[in-house]
Structure 1
Amino acid sequence: MLQNNWRFLWMVLLGIVFSLLLHQVMDFPNDELKHQLFGMLESIIITVLIWEGSLRFERIWDKKFPWEQFPMKRVFVQLLAGSTYIALVMVVITQAFDSLVCPMPFDDKNKFFAIIFILAFLVSIAILSLEISFQFFRKWKQSLLEVEQHKSETAMARLENLKNQINPHFLFNNMSVLSSLVYKDQDKAVHFINQLSKVYRYLLDSGSCELTTLEDEMQFLQSYTYLLNIRYSPNIHFEINVSEEALKTYIPPMSVQLLIENAIKHNEISSAAPLTISIRSEEMWLIVENNLQLRSTVENGSGTGLKNICSRYQFFTDREPEIVATETHFRVEIPLLKAP
């Protein structure tokens, strides 16, 4: 429905048109100018009350019966309430004009009111049809925008994952660790290479997935945390406690890895200040928490890791990731999703 500043002009014009059509359809026994003018005024008042009342009812229905949640109930309620309201407005205003302003030139007024009620019902059907068409068109456009936004956000998240992992800095650190292991412990070096290959294999395999099981993510984290333990040992600790039920749920791929990377990027890791990262499930949430010991200087980054996680969740659930920072700990809680 029109809700702009020009709607009152449209109401006046529509009221005049409706009055003229009514004079053409019905056989008015006394078609004097006075009756025509009062008929136009009556029609304009009815149009204004119906239009403005419908707008206010629409706001109420939008809160109680949103189209996307209760489409059939919204159709039924809006049709019933709308036709009742429009009929009442038309009958009350018509009777008021007949009694107080200008008597209607009809002998059988009951027939006239019956015609008015039928017109009210038809007007309700027309308004509801336009409303449904408008709502579905708007939702269709919105769904297209959400699909494109989802593609964009997913692409950004994948790019962020690749930047965090498949970059010269990450590769250089792991190659440095590997080169030292080759001379010290060849068996461990072979195991390190195997775990490194699993990390890159998961990165490539999950690149086209919107969701992955928590079980697959935790298997990947075994390899990923192994690399981190070799690199930072004994100054980093991982505490993992995830239930069997939680392993069957879903999360966006690489979400936990981004949170671990975020903790390592912003916190000091040393023998005097070891970093402990806890990963645990609680009901339908996965909690990643670390002790807070911020670095004096932080590595440069785009700062979009946490934002990407939050934005990606918007496409799958109304539940939002929760971020809690205290003086001693930093915690991120991400929702666990049921099977898509």
Structure 2
Amino acid sequence: MALDRKIIWREVRDIVILMLVGILMTWAGVTCRNCYDNSREFWIVASFTALMWVLLWKGNSYLADYISTKMSWIDQPGKRFLVGLVATITYTFLAMYILGAIYTLSFKFNLTAGITYSVIITIIISLFMHSRAFLINWKQSVVTAEQLKRESIAAKYESLKNQVNPHFLFNSFNALSNLVYEDQDKAVKFIKQLSEVYRYVLDTREKEVVPLADELKFLNSYIYLQKIRFADKLSIEISINTIKGGVAPLALQMLIENAIKHNVVSEDDPLTVKVFEDKGFIVVENNLQKKTSIGEPSAGVGLENICKRYEFLSSNNVEVSNNSKTFVVKLPLLTLS
């Protein structure tokens, strides 16, 4: 509410300043030296000039802001400039034509000269304003891109650190120690899958996007390790018909890891995780059965980091939804360079 009042006050202040400029210009005889012979005519001309300044300056400013919400200076600078210039000239012509038509009833006004003068002045001012807007947007985009890049690098580093944290290793080696005595062949396969997981983590640590096929292959190795640990208490179903496109490396694994970490996984309450494709998104969905407390502390890698990585990688946002029964995360498929 306080912010709204501040914006309203700023707009009122600008309008008052512009009207005062118009009145002062009339008093100085800048706009029309021979338009008035008495105080009544002076105030008619002064009000005309004041309204002209408000309509041209504020009107074109609002118009430019609206166009910028529909068309980006960064993505389409040439088109944005051309559309902005045409819209500005058109608005100026119409505003001055209507204002001039109204005021010709009160004093002699050269409508053609007034419109021409206004359009020329507006073009000069618009060139300055559009150039300034372009530079501001360009600077902001550079800052934002650099910030997202740093966040993406930090998230990838955290994902690597998460995979070598003591809890993951402890759980893996604990499962392996049991297999060595129970089933040596399965133990050998377990070691091979564990090495595949770490090889993939190391191979993708410098990559921003990986093929979906590679991520799914890695995911199968990771799921094998988890299935050895949880057996029938955990069910992970992958149903993806296409392998086109890419994903952020380790994103799918992190979502499955989070589902296991934050939900009860037991014989009485088995956890089911589904991974499937839906209209350009890879969906990870699990049934909700939240733990009252998390046994393993978070390593700093979570949904927020995944969302930030995708802000840098895609124009489509990660979609998150949940209800009393399921938790769903949708990752947009990425284009491979």
Do they superpose with TM above 0.5? Answer: yes
5+ residue gaps in structure 1?
A: none
Give the share of equivalent positions with the same residue, in percent: 36
Cα gap change, 1:336 to 1:31, in 2 (>3 Å): closer
Alignment of 1:162 onto 2:160: yes
What is the identity, as a one-letter code, of the residue corresponding to 1:136? F
Aligned-pair CA distance for 1:201: 1.7
Hey, what does 1:51 align to over in structure 2? 57
Asked if 1 retains the 8 angstrom alpha-carbon contact of 2:160 and 2:205, the reply is: no
What are the Cα deviations for residues 206-234 of structure 1, in whole angstroms up to 9, with x where unaligned? 22211111111111112111211222224
- From 215, 218, 228, the equivalent of 2:216 is 218
Cα gap change, 1:45 to 1:323, in 2 (>3 Å): closer
Q: TM-score, normalised by structure 1?
A: 0.79
Aligned-pair CA distance for 1:249: 1.2
5+ residue gaps in structure 2?
A: 1-9
Please provide the CA RMSD for this pair: 3.4
Q: How does 1:234-249 map to 2 (within 5 A)?
A: 234-243=232-241, 245=242, 247-249=243-245
Q: CA separation in 2, counterparts of 1:336 and 1:311? A: 15
Aligned-pair CA distance for 1:157: 1.9
Asked if 2 retains the 8 angstrom alpha-carbon contact of 1:211 and 1:253, the reply is: yes
What are the Cα deviations for residues 239-271 of structure 1, in whole angstroms up to 9, with x where unaligned? 22111x2x1211111111111111111222233
Q: CA separation in 2, counterparts of 1:86 and 1:48? A: 11
Hey, what does 2:18 align to over in structure 1? 11
Cα gap change, 1:277 to 1:95, in 2 (>3 Å): closer
- Say how many residue pairs are matched: 326
What is the identity, as a one-letter code, of the residue corresponding to 2:333? L
Asked if 2 retains the 8 angstrom alpha-carbon contact of 1:160 and 1:305, the reply is: no
Of the structure 1 ranges 145-154 and 31-40, higher mean CA displacement relative to structure 2 is found in: 31-40
Q: CA separation in 2, counterparts of 1:69 and 1:40? A: 42
Cα gap change, 1:296 to 1:75, in 2 (>3 Å): closer
Asked if 1 retains the 8 angstrom alpha-carbon contact of 2:318 and 2:331, the reply is: yes
Asked if 1 retains the 8 angstrom alpha-carbon contact of 2:152 and 2:312, the reply is: no
Hey, what does 2:319 align to over in structure 1? 322
Q: CA separation in 2, counterparts of 1:92 and 1:237? A: 71
Asked if 2 retains the 8 angstrom alpha-carbon contact of 1:75 and 1:128, the reply is: no
Alignment of 1:253 onto 2:249: yes
Hey, what does 2:269 align to over in structure 1? 273
Hey, what does 1:79 align to over in structure 2? 85
- From 125, 128, 133, the equivalent of 1:127 is 125
Aligned-pair CA distance for 1:194: 2.1
Q: CA separation in 2, counterparts of 1:152 and 1:114? A: 56
Asked if 2 retains the 8 angstrom alpha-carbon contact of 1:83 and 1:120, the reply is: no
What is the identity, as a one-letter code, of the residue corresponding to 1:332? V
Cα gap change, 1:254 to 1:70, in 2 (>3 Å): same
Of the structure 1 ranges 251-260 and 153-162, higher mean CA displacement relative to structure 2 is found in: 153-162
Q: How does 1:294-305 map to 2 (within 5 A)?
A: 294-299=290-295, 300-301=297-298, 305=302
Secondary structure in 1 matching 2:312: coil
Alignment of 1:331 onto 2:337: no
Asked if 2 retains the 8 angstrom alpha-carbon contact of 1:320 and 1:335, the reply is: yes
What is the identity, as a one-letter code, of the residue corresponding to 1:140? W
Q: CA separation in 2, counterparts of 1:207 and 1:4? A: 50
Secondary structure in 2 matching 1:256: helix
Secondary structure in 1 matching 2:237: strand
Cα gap change, 1:314 to 1:155, in 2 (>3 Å): same
Q: TM-score, normalised by structure 2?
A: 0.80
Cα gap change, 1:117 to 1:275, in 2 (>3 Å): closer
Q: CA separation in 2, counterparts of 1:204 and 1:21? A: 74
What are the Cα deviations for residues 190-213 of structure 1, in whole angstroms up to 9, with x where unaligned? 322222122112112222211111
Cα gap change, 1:61 to 1:323, in 2 (>3 Å): closer
Aligned-pair CA distance for 1:167: 0.8
What is the identity, as a one-letter code, of the residue corresponding to 2:140? Q
Q: CA separation in 1, counterparts of 2:330 and 2:35? A: 76
Q: CA separation in 2, counterparts of 1:23 and 1:263? A: 72
What is the identity, as a one-letter code, of the residue corresponding to 2:261? K
Aligned-pair CA distance for 1:64: 5.0
Hey, what does 2:308 align to over in structure 1? 311
What is the identity, as a one-letter code, of the residue corresponding to 2:245? T
Q: CA separation in 2, counterparts of 1:221 and 1:308? A: 19
Asked if 2 retains the 8 angstrom alpha-carbon contact of 1:267 and 1:293, the reply is: yes
